[in-house]
Structure 1
Amino acid sequence: MSHITNPLATVEQLYSRSTLNALPQDLQDVIFLSMQSLTQAAGLLLRLPQSVTAQANVVLARYWVTISWPFIDEFSDISAASLFLVAKLSSHPTTPRDLCNVYAYLLSPLSPLFRPSAADPPSTTPDKTLYYLSEPGYSEAHARILALESRVLCALSFDTHVALPHGLAVTYLKALDFLGVSPPAPLAQRVVGYLNTALLSPQLLYLTHQPSALAVAAIYNAAKDLGAKMPECAWWEVFDVDREELGFLVVGMRSVEGAVRAGREKDISAELHEGNMITRAGIETEMRKRGMVLGNGVNTSGSSENAAPLTEEDMLMRSLDERADQMDS
């Protein structure tokens, strides 16, 4: 069974990420969404199979829960290293030069990936110098990605196994006789769409639930959207998924669209990125505006440059105060 199951994030990892991290939760969500979206876009431009890109998203998410702010790497480099690592281990490896060129384009002002408005279309005669990588620039980017690749492997204890729910979803659809109806394409496409969208979930659904549960939830949502007739019995129990887990995943998958929309609006309004991607400098600037303290103990408001580092208890109390303020507002 190990080939169709994944190592899941521990409660301690999720708790530390959500409460003890020096970054507010809304900024964490914006960073995670930006990195995952960038990885998906890079996979498309590199013509990698979705299975490879999705595995890179999961590896990136696993690395995400093992580290805390302040990051020592740019978020785009973390995305590139995860995609390069997973592609190298697959039957569709990509060259470092292709990878660096694609990320140079996606991070350039000409990229439509994080464009704030449709009223700002890319130029019809793009200036290639805006995303051209010189030989020194390529060497520097390549060195950063290789160094970060080793750190990702160490953080994951060299466990890069990722079981995706897409294949299981097709098997479950066959078992439910959905692929025998005509036409089966809309339902299957909707299921795959839910599974791919769940990769962007700030709830880290791929790290908290096994592929079988994700596949069942995607089928449930797709069947409900298209009005497909489901068995009247508790059919999900046949696939070893209980009602409570199914209910959580159904709601979680349906909430991704709203979370993505909110994250995009936050990303644009806060001006967190330089060029076309969110950056560490942008996050630090936003934290200074909020008068918050970085994880290294430096007060970003400038009022106490020699402040002592925050303890875990201090960070927990700060997080609780922030949530209380949000509830009051």
Structure 2
Amino acid sequence: MANPSGLKYLSNALATLDQLSNSSSSIDGVSPDLETSIRFAGTQLTQAAGVLLRLSQDIISQAVVTFTRFWIGAEGGSLRIYSVKDVSAAALYMTAKLSFQPTSPRSVLNVYAFLLSQDASPLWFINPKGSPETPPAPETYCLTEGGYQSGRLVLLRTESIILRTLGFNTHVALPHTITLTYLQTLGVSSSAVARRSFEYLNAALLSPQLLYVTHQPNALAVAAIYLAAREEGVKLVDDEWWEVFDVDREELGFLVVGMRSMEGFARAEREKWQGRTIPMVVDQVDGEIERRRMMEEGE
């Protein structure tokens, strides 16, 4: 990934056009729509696990970006080699370990065992039936000691694979703090605008356009403020204020469309996979690819 000039702690290494158009998964025969669906589910899994682990949103957001980066480009990970659930867990564990809020392998694996349980999980793409009305039996989602020991080995091995794949570059600059600074600069004191801006930024983490790896934090912040201010009816300064923050009209327009499309995209994904689980492990990905092949050939 190319690293732009400027203050490196306020910017990120962005994906190149070649990386975006040639993923390792697509080379291995995973269709673009299937890859998008699986990646979308993986970001939601990471977010949900972070919440259950009581990690800060900053840590969760960084883990989601790390998870997303892992799959990008021909040199990235392939969904036919690495399981999404393992990469998600390792990205979250690694990010937390490098922060002020580390968490143990056992805690991470226990949370993922619960979220991946087809009887207990509240996640629609894992448990299409929905959360059970009565609590499921603990054995349906609790790890055995043997399961923990084997899971721990996979977790640590996957962590090292992520680090090597990313060239040990774990830096992730987020747009949230910049957003607050920009709001102050623009003289916006509305807490509703700030809250709505953060909602757009958090939703953009799940974007199929991979907004966090294609645009710098300052541009994401500007787009979120632009949308939030319009929705809340708060008038910003006249003229093209976004140019002050080094964002041109074309980039702003792209990000605005991308952020506004998230709700519709999420709804379409739920409809597309209604009643079915989204593959979270390699064997399931292979099975879905084979299912689609048979359908196409009328077998």
Paired AA for residue 31 in structure 2:
P
% of aligned pairs identical?
47
Partner of 1:310: none
Partner of 2:109: 100
Partner of 1:89: 98
SS of equivalent residue, structure 2 residue 142: coil
Partner of 1:308: none
Paired AA for residue 36 in structure 1:
T
**Correspondences of 1:109-188 after superposition (within 5 Å):** 109-114=119-124, 120-179=130-189, 184-188=190-194
With normalisation by structure 1, the TM-score equals 0.82
Matched residues in 2 for 1:162 and 1:116: separation?
Answer: 28
Q: In structure 2, do the counterparts of structure 1 residues 33 and 245 end up closer, same or farther at CA, with 3 Å as the change threshold?
A: same
Per-residue CA shift, 1:275-323, capped at 9, x if unaligned?
A: xx6333332222212228xxxxxxx98x9xxxxxxxxxxxxxxxxxxxx
Matched residues in 1 for 2:183 and 2:228: separation?
Answer: 11
The equivalent position to 1:225 in structure 2, one of 231, 234, 239, is: 231
Paired AA for residue 26 in structure 1:
D
Matched residues in 2 for 1:123 and 1:88: separation?
Answer: 35
Question: Are positions 1:254 and 2:256 aligned together?
Answer: no
Matched residues in 1 for 2:21 and 2:136: separation?
Answer: 45
The equivalent position to 1:291 in structure 2, one of 272, 290, 293, is: 293
- The offset of 1:9, in angstroms, is 0.5
The equivalent position to 1:60 in structure 2, one of 67, 73, 77, is: 67
Matched residues in 2 for 1:150 and 1:201: separation?
Answer: 26
Q: Is the 8 A contact 1:56 1:83 kept in 2?
A: yes
Matched residues in 2 for 1:93 and 1:196: separation?
Answer: 22
- The offset of 1:153, in angstroms, is 0.2
Matched residues in 2 for 1:279 and 1:131: separation?
Answer: 17
Q: Is the 8 A contact 2:14 2:215 kept in 1?
A: yes
Q: In structure 2, do the counterparts of structure 1 residues 113 and 84 end up closer, same or farther at CA, with 3 Å as the change threshold?
A: same
Q: Is the 8 A contact 1:197 1:256 kept in 2?
A: yes
- The offset of 1:247, in angstroms, is 0.3
**Correspondences of 1:19-58 after superposition (within 5 Å):** 20=27, 22-58=29-65
Matched residues in 1 for 2:79 and 2:184: separation?
Answer: 47
Q: Is the 8 A contact 1:165 1:214 kept in 2?
A: yes
Matched residues in 2 for 1:215 and 1:162: separation?
Answer: 15
Partner of 2:281: 279
- The offset of 1:154, in angstroms, is 0.2
Q: In structure 2, do the counterparts of structure 1 residues 135 and 33 end up closer, same or farther at CA, with 3 Å as the change threshold?
A: same
- The offset of 1:29, in angstroms, is 1.0
Question: Are positions 1:197 and 2:206 aligned together?
Answer: no
SS of equivalent residue, structure 2 residue 269: helix
Q: Is the 8 A contact 2:61 2:205 kept in 1?
A: yes
Structure exhibiting the larger radius of gyration computed from Cα positions: 1
Partner of 2:248: 242
Matched residues in 2 for 1:177 and 1:73: separation?
Answer: 47
Q: Which segment drifts farther, 80-89 or 12-21? A: 12-21
Paired AA for residue 288 in structure 1:
E
Q: Is the 8 A contact 2:121 2:127 kept in 1?
A: no
Per-residue CA shift, 1:63-112, capped at 9, x if unaligned?
A: 01043545322211110000011101001000011001000111112111
Per-residue CA shift, 1:226-267, capped at 9, x if unaligned?
A: 111122210000000000000000000111111122222223
Q: Is the 8 A contact 2:114 2:121 kept in 1?
A: yes
Q: Where in structure 1 are there 5+ consecutive unaligned residues?
A: 293-299, 304-329
Matched residues in 1 for 2:137 and 2:282: separation?
Answer: 26
Q: Is the 8 A contact 2:121 2:131 kept in 1?
A: no
CA RMSD, Structure 1 to Structure 2 (Å): 2.2
